[in-house]
Amino acid sequence: GNVVTGEMVEELLLSGADIIKIGIGPGSVCTTRKQTGVGYPQLSAILECADAAHGLNGHVISDGGCTCPGDFSKAFGGGADFVMAGGMFASHAESGGDLVEIQGKLYKQFYGMSSAVAMNKHAGGVAEYRSSEGKAVILPYKGPVANTVTDILGGIRSSCTYVGASKLKELSRRTTFIRVSQQLNEVFGSKDESKHPVFAAIPDHSVTAEAGEKGQEAKRARKD
């Protein structure tokens, strides 16, 4: 199970645990907050729980809430020793789930472990005393996970350079958090459209210019 308060982290560590998993409700396929009203903002939970754990030589895992590479950096910056991210790694070639084709496009199913799908598959169904606290979704197939891992690692490395951390474990000591009302400038949306077909139709003038320069050099060489 997961916890989100410093008191529970201390109690579990004093009871013999080595690593504590932090997070209630932030997962992409988790509906605990909706079904039960129970939860805690993930970054606040990390900050509080990491401080409690490290005071007792324990470690914490941030479980859930990551939607982009920057969220990994924030988790490590908040003091997490490890980061779990199911949603960002879902629907790749290496991830679980059957690959299905629908109208010529490939998809994979992704579901929370407290969802009805998971409990029907692994626990014989949803127990009468409780409700499902997860959902199942169908995601476009993303191919090999290597590109996603490279993107995440690249973001974390850049985060370290911005704040002056020479090692990942220094990130939390170099990080300051501030409250904002808006994080991203989305005047043109949040999706990178560099692979849009219209970009392929735009001539690459840098290549043309380079070819032109080489042509001029060849002409001068022939004259010489």
The catalytic position among 32, 49, 148, 160 is 32
114: nearest Cα among 144, 98, 135? 135
H or E segment at 102? Answer: strand 99-102
Q: Contact 61/79 with Cβ under 8 angstroms?
A: no
Predicted confidence pLDDT, tens digits, the chain (224 residues): 899 999 999 999 999 999 999 999 999 999 999 999 999 999 999 999 999 999 999 999 999 999 999 999 999 999 999 999 999 999 999 998 889 999 999 999 999 999 999 899 888 999 999 999 999 999 999 999 999 999 999 999 999 999 999 999 999 999 999 999 988 888 988 788 777 777 777 787 766 555 566 666 666 666 66
What does the block give as tokens for 160?
Answer: 């370290």
Active-site residue (options: 5, 30, 66, 150): 30
Residue among 151, 160, 154 at smallest CA distance from 74? 160
Does the annotation count 49 as an active-site position? no
Instruction: Say whether 32 is catalytic.
Output: yes
- Classify each residue of 1-26 as buried b or exposed e, where b means 16 or more C-beta atoms within 10 Å of its C-beta: ebbbebebbbebbeeeeeebbbbbbb
